[in-house]
Structure 1
Amino acid sequence: MEAHRDQLARRLGGIATMVLGCVPLLCGASFRTGNFVVEAPTQSIARTVAEHAETERVNIARAWLGRELPAWTTPCPIRVKVTSGEAGGLTSFGFNNGRVTDQSMVVEGRLDRILASALPHEITHTIFAAYFGGPMPRWADEGAALLSEDQRERRRHDQIAVDLLARRGEVSLVRLFRIEEYPKDLMSFYGQGYSISRFLIEIGGRPRFLRFVRDGLESGWDSATLNHYGLADVRELDRAWRSWHRVTLTASVPDRDEGELVYRDQPGDTEEQPPGR
């Protein structure tokens, strides 16, 4: 009987070893840096994404804030799903008393598109979250985050904005600035948010854009428009944006010869950025 138990124990031990040995294969691999912990299909991908995230965090913070962010107390988790498709992402936040209390990120798509498009987009959301300490207006959060993506994706959203205004599918800025939830027509929303964000940044720079958005939330958009851009109100800003769009953006958008990209957003119930789009 004792020999039988020993034999059974050895068999169970062997099975346990096999199962434990399979766990890394089932769960993928992880890599941790100072501010991120990445789970990905392989160690190489996890390390590449984590190191790229750190680089983007530094560069994007400097571009928007003029300085690097302090190290986060808790690393931001990033889950990577490598597919054969285009890039997408999702970042979720928790806020309390003007501070980010937790954040997590998912990116998916081809690795090259994740690095060039989805990851910079989602990292930008984390920079904005740290700056505002709470939800940023949807149009500004998504529109400005698109500026961190590569030229291919920015051109696509230039074209979306051109098409949108050509078919009169846009909404007034008075209405756009009040939108709190993601609308059904996400692509149009992203295109218009990107276009007005680009316009404001081109005429006033990134720091002024952030101050404008903060003041718009606190004191109203008409007052913020006058104080930061010297325009009487949002309606005058709307007219200025449309004039710029007709003269500048329409002339600069090339024919569509690069193919369509798909960047999906999946708004959730929590305060979060949809899959990068």
Structure 2
Amino acid sequence: MTLRRQLSALVAVLFVPAFASAATYDTVNFRTEAPTARLAKEFGDKAEEYRREKALEWTGREMPQWPSRCPLQVQITQGSAGGATTFTFGQEGGRSVVTSIRMEIRGDATQLLNSVLPHEVTHTVLANYFGRPVPRWADEGGSVLSENDDERFNHNVRCRELLNAGRGIRCRVLFRMTEYPKDMIVLYAQGYSVSHFLVAKGGDGREGRLKLLQFLGTGMQGNSAESWNAAAHKVYGFESVDELEEAWLTSLKTPPTRVVARDTTPPAGQPTSARSPRTELRTSAAPAVPVLEAPVRVRGATPDREPSRPSYLPEHGSTPVAKPATPNLPVPELLPPELPRPVSP
């Protein structure tokens, strides 16, 4: 079967099939096509680096060499950045394996190198580990874990906004999804938030990622309410997915934080101090405080574009606008959407 991963930027992007004058660069596992020879080499080498790094982060070992190179097409553009990875799954020696991969990325070069490329490469690590399609929430959520600090913070903030608007998906429904929902932006933000919570619950770092893989492997066996409840109990000690969900929602009452660098280099002509010219400034966003109104159901709407700085966040350097916290309000009620039909093999 063939599986095509959606764009990381949550927008439908039409990729140019070939550049008028593109350069190609081959590494062990990638054949990279980019506008210039320098970019082709830079992205090809970086793809190999991420392939090794992400495999070690998730599984503790490198992936074996792929039987054929993965075509990696790089298009440098202004505005939104995103990517798409296509997998073909087959059988080898009686087990399911990935038989081919194709990757396309488009956007600002820096954004592609720092967030989109590691995101797409993480898809390949998860697909190769299981040899089959990974649940959508974990595939996207786990891949967002590979993005830079700003992008992860943005997803953290967005998840809280969506929950407060009543657009969340019950975990018992989310975990069993085999296809992207119509309200796809929820899948990315909530999938990341739940993945981040479970990785931290499992011990953070490699240990936390390995436990998440164990949780997925157990839940995917049957992909039923019973299998996911069993996975929640076996791996994390929760009695059920509902109890896991309650713990996750409770964790969202703490506002997300990030550390951003602030340049403190003195003006020209003034003496510099002996300490580092950069200091760390910690910023935070509002916690998840539910709006107890009729939930908003969005069906068939096109997700808003994902620029380098999403419009729903304040400008860089400004103080985030936080709604007054109301700790006594209950956590958000998450409503299940329709379960998409399974992908036919």
Contact residue 255 and residue 285 of structure 2 kept, 8 A? no
TM (norm. structure 2) is: 0.66
How many equivalent pairs are there? 239
Runs of 4+ in 1 over 4 A off after TM superposition: 250-253
Q: Does 1:235 align with 2:242?
A: yes
One-letter code aligned to 1:118: V
1:254 corresponding residue in structure 2 = 284
Aligned alpha-carbon RMSD (Å): 2.2
Aligned residue number for residue 29 of structure 1: 23
Match of 1:177 in 2: 175
Task: Within 5 Å, give how 1:125-274 maps onto structure 2.
Answer: 125-204=123-202, 205-218=208-221, 220-247=227-254, 249=256, 254-255=284-285, 259-260=309-310
Q: How far does residue 261 in structure 1 lie from its aligned partner after superposition?
A: 7.4
Shift of 1:86: 2.9
Contact 1:155 1:253 (8 Å CA) reproduced: no
The Cα of 1:120 is off from its aligned counterpart by 0.3
The 5 A counterparts of 1:104-115 are: 104-115=102-113
Aligned to 2:61: 67
- Deviation, 1:255, is 4.7
Identity of aligned residues (%): 40
Aligned pair in 2 of structure 1 residues 25, 36: CA closer, same or farther (>3 Å)?
Answer: closer
Identify if the C-alpha distance between structure 1 residues 253 and 235 changes in structure 2 by more than 3 Å, giving closer, same or farther.
Answer: farther
Asked which structure has the greater CA Rg, the reply is 1
Distance in 1, matches of 2:219 and 2:138, equals 11
* CA offset digits 1:107-135 (Å, max 9, x no partner): 00011010011100000000001000000
Do the aligned residues in 2 keep the contact of 1:92 with 1:105 (CA within 8 Å)?
yes
Indicate yes or no: 2:71 matched with 1:77.
Answer: yes
1:253 & 1:191 partners in 2: Cα distance?
A: 19
Deviates more, 1:158-167 or 1:46-55: 158-167
- CA distances 1:181-233 after superposition (whole Å, capped 9, x unpaired): 11122212110000000000001000000010011011510001100000001
For the pair 1:86 / 2:80, whether they are aligned, the reply is yes
| Preserved CA contact (<8 Å) 1:38 1:46 | yes
Query: How has the CA–CA distance of structure 1 residues 56 and 255 changed in structure 2, closer, same or farther, with 3 Å as cutoff?
Result: same
- The alpha carbon displacement at 1:249 in A equals 3.6
Structure 1: 5+ residue stretches without partners = 1-23, 263-270, 272-277
- Residue type matched to 1:161 in 2? C
Which sections of structure 2, spanning at least 5 residues, go unmatched?
A: 1-17, 203-207, 259-281, 287-307, 313-342
TM-score when scaled to structure 1?
Answer: 0.82
In the alignment, the residues of structure 2 paired with residue 48 and residue 175 of structure 1 have an alpha-carbon distance, to the nearest angstrom, of 41
Secondary structure of 2:25's counterpart equals strand
Task: Select between 242-251 and 74-83 the one with higher mean Cα deviation.
Answer: 242-251
Q: Cα deviations across residues 24-77 of structure 1 (Å, max 9, x unaligned)? A: 982411000001000111111111100000110111111000111111121111
2:45 maps to which of 45, 51, 59: 51
- 2:153–2:256 contact (8 Å) kept in structure 1: no
Could you say which structure has the higher helix fraction? Answer: 1
Which stretch shifts more, 165-174 or 191-200? 165-174
CA contact (8 A) 1:162 1:250 kept: no
* Structure 1 residues 173 and 253, CA gap change in structure 2 (3 angstroms): farther
| Secondary structure of 2:253 counterpart | helix
- Work out the CA distance in 1 between the residues paired with 2:132 and 2:283: 34
Q: Secondary structure of the residue that 1:105 maps to in structure 2?
A: strand
